[in-house]
Amino acid sequence: MTLKTILIPAASVMLALGFASCVSDDKDTNNEWVPQFSQFNEAGYWTDCNNPAITSLDVNGVTLSHSATIFEWEGNTFASWNGFCPSKSTDNADYTGADWTQHQWSSITGGGVAGPGTPYIVACWRTDSGESSCRMRMTDGSAFYPDDLYITNSSYAYYAMKNGTAFNRPFTASDECVLLINGYLNGHRKTDTVYVYLAKGTDILNYWKKIEVSKLGTVDTIVFTMKSSDTSELGMNTPAYFCIGSMRYNVHNDYNN
């Protein structure tokens, strides 16, 4: 029996995190989160990405949501995942017409903000999960002020929007794919939303773009969701992937739980 990875566009797995905080306006400045990581397999992505026992992971003081499912069908064992997965894969080749399930862990740049082969985070948003599958927070639960994030497309999403796959059509001038970066405070109150075009028409993001997110204000959780013009009754047809390279943020001096 072999283990294969499968992409399920609309499975019903939900993961929710909530945190409470009491804060003032005092803050330290110029903190930078870069996803340093070492637990990679030979393909260059996180060794436990398909481990259903892991529901989150800590990367340099930031906790990222994660969920995986293992199931059997016709004598084979399959795995699917959502949330976040560290990677340093440089394989940003075009696998249009081949099996993208084996190549879903790469940024279109072939590396992190620092260059090819450096770590970054691949995100997979579960399209039926609402705001539950892609969440990040400080590991100690503290409130913080996010300043900016570096965002790009995964190679899978980039080529799927450019060329189409068996599950989605190639983008035309009227199409768009948008990443929504949502801030939350006290685990439930939305502070604001920043909108990032991963693709607008046939202009598809293929570099690390610095996204200003200071309008989110004080948050304890950042939640990522997506929307696309290529959508069916089951949700997005466009592969719901994006990549995070780094984050600059400020933290409160006098945080109390």
Please state, in angstroms and rounded to a whole number, the distance separating the CA atoms of residues 156 and 9: 14
Q: Which pLDDT band, with edges at 50, 70 and 90, does 14 fall under?
A: very low
Mean residue pLDDT across the chain: 87
Q: What is the pLDDT of residues 46-82, one digit of tens each?
A: 999 999 999 999 999 999 999 999 988 777 888 899 9
What percent of the chain is predicted at pLDDT more than 70? 85
Give me the pLDDT at residue 233, please: 86
User: Residue 7 pLDDT more than 70?
Assistant: no
Environment class of 148 (CB within 10 Å of its CB; exposed 0-12, middle 13-18, buried 19+): middle
Of residues 64 and 26, more confidently modeled: 64
Give me the pLDDT at residue 163, please: 98
Token pair of 66, please? Answer: 């994660």
Give me the pLDDT at residue 189, please: 86
Using DSSP, state whether 14 is helix, strand or coil: coil
Side chain identity, residue 209? K
Secondary structure letter of residue 170 according to DSSP: P
- The residues pairing with 128 across neighbouring beta strands, listed in sequence order, are none
Give me the pLDDT at residue 72, please: 82
Of residues 252 and 33, more confidently modeled: 33
Chain Cα centroid distance, residue 189: 21
Q: Which pLDDT band, with edges at 50, 70 and 90, does 128 fall under?
A: confident
Q: Which pLDDT band, with edges at 50, 70 and 90, does 15 fall under?
A: very low
Token pair of 191, please? Answer: 């502070």
Q: Which of 27-36, 95-104, 170-179 has the highest mean pLDDT?
A: 170-179
Least confident stretch, 70-74, 116-120, 135-139, 165-169: 70-74
Q: What is the pLDDT of residues 172-218, one digit of tens each?
A: 999 999 999 999 999 778 999 999 999 999 999 999 999 999 999 99
Token pair of 222, please? Answer: 């950042």
User: Residue 44 pLDDT more than 70?
Assistant: yes
Give me the pLDDT at residue 28, please: 52
CA atoms within 13 A on the CB side of 58: 6
What is the pTM for the complete model shown? 0.87
Give me the pLDDT at residue 2, please: 42
Side chain identity, residue 134? C
Region 98-110 average pLDDT: 95
Give me the pLDDT at residue 206, please: 98
Q: Which pLDDT band, with edges at 50, 70 and 90, does 98 fall under?
A: very high
- The residues pairing with 51 across neighbouring beta strands, listed in sequence order, are none
Q: Which pLDDT band, with edges at 50, 70 and 90, does 30 fall under?
A: confident
List phi, psi (to 5°) of 205.
Answer: -60, 125
Place of tokens 């294969």: 4
Is-contact 31 145, C-beta < 8 A? no
Give me the pLDDT at residue 234, please: 83
Token pair of 250, please? Answer: 């400020």
